[in-house]
């Protein structure tokens, strides 16, 4: 079974064809409240948004090379909300001095028949998980603190098991290509979260092994 996904961003958008700037880290369960307290003091929303999402990761294997990956996500907290289909491109090599990972991001809303559509297109569901947690915002930055749980019985989101004794912490910005100055703002914000959490530029290709 594949490792958990490289990102657990909740269903909040509908932004099409943007660049995602990303820093990631983790915090142990016992340090969660300290981190949330720090974020309440630093962010625009003192009380964070909460979410519980179900994500399915689909693969389409070609004749050669890596499979094409799409992520279908739905909100368990708001069952009538649209599904979201997300494509995350390969990280840009580019400027080594960038403080954040940069990759293409396409995020579109979809109907509830999205899983059936992907199956008919030849995609195969590789793995699924439930993510729940908190969303903070600081200007254009979004900070997501989430717990990931594996689904023990396929399709049954009530039967889950936590993947670890820590929370995933992600700091991200969606912006048009070329807006690399946002990575400097992200680095400055990440510094204010130390030593509670160390947010880093992580290569997602290495997370899959």
What are the tens digits of pLDDT across the range 85-136? 999 998 886 667 788 999 999 999 999 999 999 999 999 999 999 999 999 9
**Spans of the chain below 70 pLDDT:** 1-17, 93-95, 204-209
Q: Which residues contact 126 (CB under 8 A, 6 or more apart)?
A: 2, 57, 58, 59, 69
Structure tokens at 143: 């900070």
Measure the CA angle with vertex 209, ends 165 and 17; round to 5°: 90
pLDDT of res. 1? 36
Q: pTM for this structure?
A: 0.86
């Amino acid at each position: 079974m594949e490792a958990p996904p490289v990102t657990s961003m909740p269903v909040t958008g509908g932004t099409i064809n943007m660049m995602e700037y990303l820093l990631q880290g983790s915090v142990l369960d016992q340090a969660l409240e300290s981190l949330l307290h720090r974020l309440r003091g630093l962010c625009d929303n003192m009380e964070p948004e909460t979410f519980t999402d179900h994500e399915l990761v689909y693969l389409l294997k070609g004749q050669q090379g890596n499979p094409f990956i799409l992520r279908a996500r739905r909100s368990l907290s708001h069952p009538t909300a649209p599904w979201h289909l997300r494509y995350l491109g390969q990280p840009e090599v580019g400027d080594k001095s960038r403080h954040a990972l940069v990759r293409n991001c396409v995020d579109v809303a979809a109907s509830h028949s999205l899983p059936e559509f992907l199956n008919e297109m030849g995609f195969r569901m590789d793995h699924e998980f439930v993510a729940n947690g908190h969303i903070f915002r600081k200007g254009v930055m979004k900070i997501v603190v989430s717990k990931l749980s594996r689904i023990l019985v396929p399709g049954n989101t009530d039967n889950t098991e936590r993947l670890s004794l820590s929370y995933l912490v992600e700091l991200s910005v969606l912006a048009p290509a070329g807006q690399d100055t946002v990575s400097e703002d992200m680095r400055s914000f990440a510094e204010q979260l130390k030593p509670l959490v160390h947010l880093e530029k992580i290569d997602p290709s290495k997370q899959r092994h």
